[in-house]
């Protein structure tokens, strides 16, 4: 499995595609980590909602559109009740601290 994975990554020449793969892997790791039970006698755990921001190019769906794909645009992704949700952010990403 590891050999196949590294071969696939090494063949990839598109930096944006590699970033998408990295974002997916990071999100998957966070999801698995949030499912780990907390150490201690209570057995309670608190899942903190994490959001992944991705810069994506999108197709408009119009037949024959010569400008597709459009963008790039920022989207936010998070999990709610086991389902992945997303929200359009816009051309620029403004994260409040």
What average pLDDT does range 20-41 have in this prediction?
Answer: 67
pLDDT (0 to 100) of residue 36: 52
CA-angle at 37, arms to 24 and 97, nearest 5°: 55
Residue-wise DSSP of the chain: -HHHHHHHHHH---HHHHHHHHHHHHHHHHHHHHTSPPSSSS----PPP--EEEEEEE----TT-SSPSEEEEEEEEEEETTEEEEEEEESS-----
Which is more confidently placed, 79 or 39?
79
Q: How far apart are CA 90 and CA 86, in angstroms?
A: 12
pLDDT reading at 58 higher than 60:
yes
Give the residue carrying structure tokens 């559109």: 65
* pLDDT confidence band for 73 (50 / 70 / 90): confident
CA distance 96 to 51: 13
* pLDDT > 80? residue 65: yes
Q: What's the pTM?
A: 0.46
- Confidence class for position 37, pLDDT limits 50, 70, 90: very low
């Amino acid at each position: 499995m590891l050999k196949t994975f590294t071969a696939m990554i090494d063949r990839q020449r598109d930096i944006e595609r590699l970033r998408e793969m990295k974002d997916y892997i990071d999100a998957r790791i966070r999801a698995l980590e949030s499912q780990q039970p907390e150490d201690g006698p209570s057995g309670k755990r608190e899942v903190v909602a994490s959001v992944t921001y991705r810069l994506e190019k999108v197709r408009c769906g119009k037949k024959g559109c010569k400008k597709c794909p459009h963008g790039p645009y920022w989207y936010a992704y998070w999990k709610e009740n086991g389902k992945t949700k997303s929200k359009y952010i816009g051309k620029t990403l403004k994260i409040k601290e």
